Chains A and B, each alone.
Chain A
Amino acid sequence: MGKLLVKEKEVVVPGEDLAEGMDLLPGEGCYRDENKIVAARLGLVKVGGRLIKLIPLSGKYLPKKNDVIIGKITEITLMGWRVDTNSAYPAMLSLRDATSEYIAKGANLSQYYAIGDYIVAKITNVTSQNLVDLTTKGPGLHKLKGGRIISVQPTKVPRIIGKAGSMVNMIKKATNSKIIVGQNGLVWIQAEPKMELIAVEAIRMIEKYAHVEGLTDKVKEFLDKAIKGGR
């Protein structure tokens, strides 16, 4: 039977041995080195049965299938658009995944998405070489107009969204804003100027105090105070 070398929920650094034994399996953020399981990033250890994985504490976004992200168009090619996904790997949005409209041969592609536009897209596939395919066909996937983009740490995104979107919905409701949180750490916000600032501040606060318990109440308190003070 394999042996765990660290405690559960312990903070580990890349290269640290997590467990010994071939019957344990490396999960997200770990890899196998002979009969050991080694950490690949900074994070908290989580053990689920035979699977050992890491909850990352920092780091760039790693593209994952079915993630909804916010990307920026960087290039228009013959086959579609190249998109910056705020990660180390290039992404492609091919013509047939971009729109259900018919695109005529030789059409000007920038009328759909121009360079510099931000889009909400879903990752359809990540190859073994980490090439990313995107789609903008589907509910909620579209081009972003107006508003502002802020970038947050991708590891804090689950905290910003909250359980079943509770946190982000609270901010949306309080500030009467439209917010889209991409899994890659880009957040789009659109609201009245003053409310927009409050929403940005609330998100920054969540990012900063992501590890604190009772954060929802704290953010609620902040929002109440900020909105009352602003009016």
Chain B
Amino acid sequence: MNYREAKEHIEGLLNQGIRLDGRKLTEYRKPIKVEPGFIETAEGSARVIIGETEVIVGVKMAVEEPYPDTPDQGNLMVGAELTPLSNPEFESGPPGIQAIELARVIDRGIRESKMIDSKKLCIKKGEKVWAVMIDISPINDAGNLFDAGALGAIAALKSTRFPEYDGEKVNYKKHTNKKLPLNKIPISVTVHKIGEHLIIDPLTEEENVSDARLTVVVRDDGKICALQKGGSMPLSSEELDSMLKLGAEKSKELRKFIE
């Protein structure tokens, strides 16, 4: 089955309004599960399952020097590692384009939504701030790592507790009850375009033949705070409109799972 045949086959199904696994075009897979606090030793963590896709996200906190342009704000870092265990296509070694894009899209969603009140992470201006490091590890990639990873990152941040800090050293063995200062909760929904159809929550097979995709990040006040377009084909302005609308609508569905 080469690319052309696979695409014809998937488009044939979409023309009849069904997907490879029998879902409707704009339906998430079942089950969706979010388990915050999945790793006890980490400051924050979550496991997210969407259908057969499974992602574990961990949050690490450290005391660091702030970046020179933001001396009174905490640092945020998002990393993703696409482990060979999760998909036979992935190779071990330094992160590739896919992993970097995944991390950056999730980073942008968290950063631009102003989810973390980063001024409250400042310990001493220009010298010491808290750094929040989010690591995304797919356990099984059956498609839609973007949404699963973003959902996991949000759930992990919500479960994050500061470690003990005496002014000099961080004691990671003891966690305090202090939570991260969080405001708006962003939810990311990725809409894919295959032929004329717009779908969400693609399977790996569908991602492989996707013409273009748009990740829409929506805050709880309904405002769109980040976008990322991927794929080689262009999008018309009508398509863009309906993708944004679809993303905003579907984000409400996902939001239920982290509340």
| Chain A contact residues, CB within 8 Å of chain B | 114-118, 144-149, 193-194, 196-197, 201
- Across the A-B interface, the 4 shortest Cβ-Cβ residue pairs: A116-B2, A197-B22, A193-B13, A193-B16
Task: Tell me the residues in window 4-20 of chain B with beta carbons closer than 8 Å to chain A beta carbons.
Answer: 5, 8-9, 12-13, 16, 18, 20
A-B contact pairs, 20 of them (CB 8 A): A114-B2, A116-B1, A116-B2, A117-B1, A117-B2, A118-B1, A144-B1, A145-B5, A146-B8, A147-B1, A148-B9, A193-B12, A193-B13, A193-B16, A194-B16, A196-B13, A197-B18, A197-B21, A197-B22, A201-B22
Residues of B within 8 A of A114 (CB): 2
Q: How far is the CA of A219 from the CA of B13 in the complex (A)?
A: 24
For residue A192, which residue of chain B has the nearest CB?
B16
**Which residues from chain B contact A145 at a C-beta distance below 8 Å?**
5
The CA of A115 and the CA of B1, in the complex, are separated in Å by 9
- The distance from the CB of B153 to the nearest CB of chain A, in whole angstroms, is 31
Which residues of chain B have C-beta atoms less than 8 A from A115's C-beta?
Answer: 2
Cβ distance B140 to chain A, nearest Cβ, rounded Å: 14
Please judge, given known A-B contacts A146-B9, A147-B9, whether A116 and B16 are in contact too, CB under 8 Å: no
CA distance A7 to B155 in the complex (A): 51
A116 to B4, CA, bound (A): 10
B9 cross-chain contacts in A, Cβ below 8 A: 146-148
Residues of B within 8 A of A144 (CB): 1
Residue of A nearest to B13 (CB): A193
Which residues of B lie under 8 Å from residue A201 when comparing CB positions? 22
Q: Which residue of A lies closest to B1 (CB)?
A: A118
B220-256: contact bitstring with A at CB < 8 Å (1 yes, 0 no)? 0000000000000000000000000000000000000
User: Which of B1, B3, B16, B22 has most A Cβ within 10 Å?
Assistant: B1
The answer to whether B20 and A148 have CB atoms under 8 Å apart is yes
Residues of A within 8 A of B2 (CB): 114-117
Q: Could you tell me the distance between the alpha carbons of A174 and B142 in the complex, rounded to whole angstroms?
A: 29
- Binary contact readout B16-30 vs A (1 if CB under 8 angstroms, 0 otherwise): 101011100000000
The reply to whether B1 and A149 form a contact with Cβ atoms under 8 Å apart is yes
Instruction: Give me 11 other A-B pairs in contact (C-beta within 8 A), A116-B3, A148-B20 excluded.
Output: A115-B2, A145-B5, A148-B1, A148-B9, A149-B1, A193-B12, A193-B13, A193-B18, A194-B18, A196-B13, A197-B21
Shortest A182–chain B CB gap in Å is 14
Determine the chain A residues whose CB is within 8 A of the CB of B5 once the complex forms.
Answer: 145-146
- Cα A115 to Cα B2 in complex, Å, equals 7
Residues of B within 8 A of A196 (CB): 13
Min Cβ gap A50→B in Å is 41
Inter-chain contacts of A149 with B (CB < 8 A): 1
Point out the residues of chain A lying under 8 angstroms from B13, CB to CB: 193, 196
CB distance from A120 to the nearest CB of B (A): 13
Give A114's nearest chain B residue, CB to CB: B2
Q: Closest residue of chain B to A190, judged by CB?
A: B9
- A16 CB → nearest B CB, Å: 28
A194 to B8, CA, bound (A): 16
A146 to B12, CA, bound (A): 11
Which residues from chain A contact B21 at a C-beta distance below 8 Å?
197
User: What is the bound-complex CA distance between A118 and B9, given in angstroms?
Assistant: 14
For residue B205, which residue of chain A has the nearest CB? Answer: A148
Smallest CB separation, A200 vs chain B (Å)? 8
Q: B22 to chain A: closest CB distance in Å?
A: 5
Fill in one digit per residue for B126-145: 1 if any A CB lies within 8 Å of its CB, else 0: 00000000000000000000
- In the assembled complex, the CB of B222 is this many whole angstroms from the nearest CB of chain A, namely 36
* Chain B neighbourhood of A117, CB < 8 A: 1-2
A-side contacts of B3, CB under 8 Å: 116
Set of chain B residues within 8 Å of A197, measured between Cβ atoms: 18, 21-22
> CA of A187 to CA of B21 in the docked complex: distance in angstroms?
15
